[in-house]
Homo-oligomer: A and B are copies of this chain.
């Protein structure tokens, strides 16, 4: 859904409405400004026409006149972290920002270090100094997020994307059904694994957030009744060095030689794939991971990774800004949950994938 640049924003005049409703311009004006007397039937008809013709242009014209600027804060990890994963939603946010530029929407970014709770607190502190009209946040460190959201200004609409904080109900959540994506991964594994028995390595990547935990839960649920196979969970930390990661994985491998498949629960998939493929002598496995970041895509094309599961990351950021816009600027109702697709990417369809 890219590069369209223009969507159907109606340009409708009072004259259009009057003509369509079969009333005078004065009547439409009275309805619009809720003054003077209008027959209930006429009111109903005019309101219907206004709704049909999408008479939102006025809202923009009004905002433009008032020179009101809408400031949205975006609180998210530094784009370079998690193997550049965050550049994907960032791209969507920037696209929405560009499209909404002339609607006086201004986006202020507050990036934090995804591996330091303290960094979230600092970013939050900086953020509360600004007067915001809305907040889009990726609460990947739920503990610190819970803390900074206690200082949330009253009535400030908050939208979560990517993950969420248990116990906090945002205006809307935009993301993937993480549990179901794990179930999907387990089914793909079951359908494609080459051996008749063996171990399935389930790699949990730290620091864990709720959606990584749910992906693993979904995978284990999906593969629990699977004769001949056993799922073994191990952990690596996202900010370990290459050699430390390798040592841990080698250690795991020594204890679990009969690996038939590997499931990595986030974008770090390439780290595990690089380790596995760097050693000749290892048996062929099925490797399933997450997110079409460049290093994963490269290994997918080389058939080291078999499947990547994707969550329309760019769209998450794009829809996030638009949801704030619709709620704050247009006063429209926003869905509680905006669920993304659970996309399956292989070497054969990746070139046409658009995130």
- Complex-state Cα separation, A10 to B5, whole angstroms: 10
Nearest B-chain residue to A323, judged by Cβ: B4
- Complex-state Cα separation, A13 to B340, whole angstroms: 36
Residues of B within 8 A of A347 (CB): 187
Q: A183 CB to closest chain B CB, in angstroms?
A: 6
- Complex-state Cα separation, A339 to B342, whole angstroms: 20
Q: A5 CB to closest chain B CB, in angstroms?
A: 8
Contact B352 A177 (CB under 8 A): yes
Contact with B along A60-84 (1 / 0, CB 8 A): 1100100000000000000000000
Q: A301 CB to closest chain B CB, in angstroms?
A: 13
Copies of this polypeptide in the complex: 2
Contact A348 B10 (CB under 8 A): no
Q: Does A155 contact B (CB under 8 A)?
A: no
Residues of B within 8 A of A343 (CB): 343-344, 349
Residues of B within 8 A of A191 (CB): 191-192, 306
Residues of B within 8 A of A7 (CB): 4, 6-9, 99
Given A342-B348, A342-B352, A352-B177 in contact, is the A61-B184 Cβ separation under 8 Å?
Answer: no
Residues of B within 8 A of A192 (CB): 191-192
The tally of residues in A whose CB lies under 8 Å from a CB in B reads 59
- Complex-state Cα separation, A8 to B103, whole angstroms: 8
Q: Does A11 contact B (CB under 8 A)?
A: yes
Given A11-B102, A99-B7, A191-B306 in contact, is the A341-B352 Cβ separation under 8 Å?
Answer: yes
Listed residue (A9, A176, A306) with the most chain B CB atoms within 10 angstroms of its CB: A9
Q: Does A316 contact B (CB under 8 A)?
A: no
Residues of B within 8 A of A100 (CB): 8
Given A330-B6, A352-B339 in contact, is the A61-B102 Cβ separation under 8 Å?
Answer: no
Contact A344 B340 (CB under 8 A): no
Contact A102 B10 (CB under 8 A): yes
Q: A330 CB to closest chain B CB, in angstroms?
A: 7
Contact with B along A212-226 (1 / 0, CB 8 A): 000000000000000
Q: Does A336 contact B (CB under 8 A)?
A: no
23 pairs, CB–CB < 8 Å, chain A vs chain B: A4-B326, A6-B7, A6-B9, A6-B330, A7-B9, A8-B9, A8-B99, A8-B100, A8-B102, A8-B103, A10-B103, A11-B57, A11-B64, A13-B64, A180-B352, A181-B349, A183-B348, A187-B347, A191-B192, A340-B352, A341-B353, A342-B349, A343-B349
